[in-house]
Amino acid sequence: MSLSASAFTELELRNVGRRFGGRDALVDLNLTIRAGEFIALLGPSGCGKSTALNCLAGLLPLTHGEILIDGKRVDTLPSEKRDFGMVFQNYALFPHLTVEKNIAFGLQMRNLSKAEITRRVAEGLALVKLEEHAKKLPGQLSGGQQQRVAIARAVVLEPRLVLMDEPLSNLDAKLRLEMRTEIRRLHQSLGLTTVYVTHDQEEALSLADRLVVLREGRVQQVGTPEELHNNPNNWHVADFMGYRNLIDLTVESISGDTARVGGAGLDLTAKLVQSASVGDTVRVAIRPSDLLVLREGESAGGRNTIEAQVTVVEYQGREFAVGATTTSGQNLFVHAESAPVPGSMVTLAVEPSRVLVYASNLDAMSNEQRELAEVRG
Ligand code: ATP
């Protein structure tokens, strides 16, 4: 395959911001993207993901900041001069042009030779496995096939950067999974650099080398899927990363980065992610898959235990999603390998290192940030 992306070493967003009518949609986005990386911008609706992508694409002027490629400003260039490829949620294909003509369109705009265009269109069709559909109109294709055309159309231009805005959100669950693999395969095989917007944490975790979690226009955390999955740095990120049990408890004692927290029928040894003092109300985050139902006679080992009554059991393929309630009425989300009986009492176990303690105030600093601030004086 000879299609490949033009090289750069680093793309840098420096204090990038965008306001709409006096309201901040994106504030101080700082990010360095290395060539070949797959970056996901992740966050709930309205958090500024599309604004960030559109600023990168040149579809929206910046209100603050700069964008540089290998030290040279690109935010001053019009969109078409940036040499980026875009793939949108709604495909944005020309309905009256065949698949091959849609793919050829951008190449024709670049005044490439006929032979070169024919070669690249054939490669693009092969890449997304649509050779048989070359002469069809978009309306004769499924959603997944249309999105493949949109992807081929972007990558045949050999863009420096591929920008994708929720490209899979119009597809059904099965197609979404297939296309996810397809996008990752293309990214790797063509050596692309990709920025991908999604509100689906699972999609972001499975696709990206690094994730950028946004909330209300501000970056909450940047990290690898593993870092974000295991160590969210505030409760909001934890919430977004699937820590469905978010419970406000009181700190009873502290020893190093371990705390004893209690309330709501719980008394747990936990890991302090953000600083807290004895007596503080803190927000404790536990992922359902870290909360296990102990089998009859099974020892908890060094784990915390919680007595709870099973309220609901939902079959989810290989495991069960279980709802349980503590003696004080606190609802818990639990995963179980075998189905407990609704109404029965169970003992749940969770490792202290998987009970994460956050300040309930979002602006609080993490322990790491606090140490850094102390070092800096
Ligand atoms: P979604 O997942 O729903 O697309 P998003 O995270 O991509 O959301 P943005 O579209 O970037 O969010 O919007 C961020 C904020 O900026 C929102 O509060 C939105 O209402 C506002 N906004 C976006 N575009 C405009 C616009 N053209 N004019 C005014 N406000 C806008």
- CATH class in words for 235-369: mainly beta
What average pLDDT does the segment 197-212 reach?
A: 94
State the Cα angle at 109 between 124 and 192, rounded to 5°.
Answer: 40
48 Cβ below 6 A of ligand 1: yes
Tell me: the pLDDT tens digits for 113-164?
999 999 999 988 988 889 999 999 999 998 888 988 998 998 888 898 999 9
24 Cα: distance to centroid of ligand 1 (angstroms):
10
* Mean pLDDT, the chain, whole residue set: 90
**Which one is predicted more confidently, 358 or 91?**
358
User: Sheet of 304-316: strands edge to edge?
Assistant: 292-293, 345-350, 304-316, 319-326, 331-336
User: Do residues 191 and 38 touch, judged by C-beta distance below 8 A?
Assistant: no
Alpha helices by DSSP H, listed for 199-305, are: 201-207, 225-230, 235-240
Q: Which residue has the tokens 């109109």?
A: 137
Tell me: the pLDDT tens digits for 252-311?
999 999 999 999 889 999 999 999 999 999 999 999 999 999 988 889 899 999 999 999
Q: Hey, whose CA ends up nearest to atom 12 of ligand 1?
A: 46
Give me the pLDDT at residue 176, please. 85
What's the Cα-to-Cα distance from 123 to each of 9, 94, 120, 188, rounded to whole Å?
26, 20, 5, 16
Give me the pLDDT at residue 3, please. 55
Give me the pLDDT at residue 4, please. 53
219 Cα: distance to centroid of ligand 1 (angstroms):
15
- pTM for this model (two decimals): 0.87
Ligand 1 atom with minimal separation from the 214 CA: 6
CATH number corresponding to 4-230: 3.40.50.300
Tell me: the pLDDT tens digits for 52-62?
999 999 999 99
| Residue spans per domain, the chain | 4-230, 235-369
| Nearby residues of 212 by Cβ (< 8 Å), 6 or more positions away | 31, 39, 40, 41, 42, 219, 221, 222
Q: Using DSSP, state whether 346 is helix, strand or coil.
A: strand
Give me the pLDDT at residue 1, please. 45
Give me the pLDDT at residue 371, please. 59
User: Do residues 283 and 235 touch, judged by C-beta distance below 8 A?
Assistant: yes
Position 362 pLDDT exceeds 60: no
Give me the pLDDT at residue 316, please. 85
In one-letter notation, the amino acid at residue 312 is V
What average pLDDT does the segment 363-373 reach?
A: 56
Residue 22 phi/psi, 5-degree rounding, is: 85, -5
For a ligand 1 pocket test, name from 26, 42, 51 the mutation site with the most ligand atoms within 8 angstroms of its C-beta.
51
Position 369 pLDDT exceeds 70: no
